[in-house]
Amino acid sequence: MMKLRFLGHACSILEHGNTALIIDPFIKDNPLAPQKVADVKVQFILVTHAHFDHLGDAWEIARQCGATVISTAEIARLAQEQGINAHAMHIGGKHSFPFGFVRVTPAFHGAGVPGGHACGFVVGFFGKNFYFPGDTALFGDMRLIGELERIDVMLPPIGDNFTMGPSDAALAVKMVNPALVIPTHYDTWPLIRQDAMRFKELVEKETGSSVIILNPGDTHEF
C-alpha cells in the first residue's frame, strides 16, 4: 500500500513497502511538525531549494539514514561537501530511480544558494505521479507539466506572500489538471495563514480535481 504522510509546511513522506522518500524535510524548527527528526526513516531526500524551511534537516536525516539527496546541482554539491551522498539534477532533467523517476520542474522563487535555481519535482513513485511545485509563483508553463506527465496528485503551496495564494494556486490546478490536490505551505506562521476549506471549494467548483486537506501528521493511503 502506498502512503503519503504530511508533516506540515511543505514536507511530506511518500512510502511504499520498504521504500520511502521525504520532500523538503523541515521538521526540527517547524512549529507544526508532528514527529522528531530521529524518527524519520527514508532512503531518498528531495530538496526544492535551500531556504531554511525547505532544506531544513536534510543533512541530519541523510546521515542517520544513509539516504541520497536528490536536488539541483548546487544543493547536491553542498551535500557532497558535507560527505553526504547526492544525485545532482537540474531544471528540465528526468532520471530513473528504484522507485520510479524524478523530473525537475521550474519554480519561480529564490534559490537560497549562490548560482542556483529553485525547482519543483514530478515524482513517479511506484506508478503514481506526484507534482510538488515547490515554492513558486503561478506561471503559464505549468500547463506543460500536466501535458508531459499525467499528474495523479498535486501539492501546491497556497500560503501567499512568499508563494502562490489560494486563487493563483487554484488556477495552477486548472492548468495541471491533477486527479487529486493536497494544499501545502500554509498556516505555519501567521503571515501565511489561509482558509484551506475555501481553497477546496474554489478548486472543486472551477476544476475537475478533488481536494483533500491533511493536517500535520495525517496520512493518505492510495
| 112 pLDDT tier (thresholds 50, 70, 90) | very high
What is the model's pLDDT at position 130? 98
Cα four-point dihedral sign 18, 132, 93, 48: negative
Q: Which fold has domain 2-215?
A: Metallo-beta-lactamase; Chain A (3.60.15)
Give residue-wise pLDDT tens across range 25-54. 999 999 999 989 999 999 999 999 999 999
Contacts of 91 (CB under 8 A, 6+ apart): 72, 104, 105, 106, 117, 119
Length of the chain: 222
**What's the whole-model pTM score?**
0.98
How many Cβ atoms sit within 10 Å of the Cβ of residue 1? 7
Instruction: Give every strand in the sheet of 153-154, ordered side by side.
Output: 94-97, 100-106, 119-125, 128-132, 153-154, 180-181, 210-211
Strands, E assignment, 54-211: 68-72, 86-89, 94-97, 100-106, 119-125, 128-132, 153-154, 180-181, 210-211
Task: Give the mean pLDDT of the chain.
Answer: 97
Q: Give the model confidence (pLDDT) of 72-103 as tens digits.
A: 999 999 999 999 999 999 999 999 999 999 99
Strand-pairing partners, residue 27, are: none
> What are the tens digits of pLDDT across the range 170-188?
999 999 999 999 999 999 9
Q: What is the pLDDT of residue 23?
A: 98
CA–CA separation, 7 and 218 (whole Å) = 8
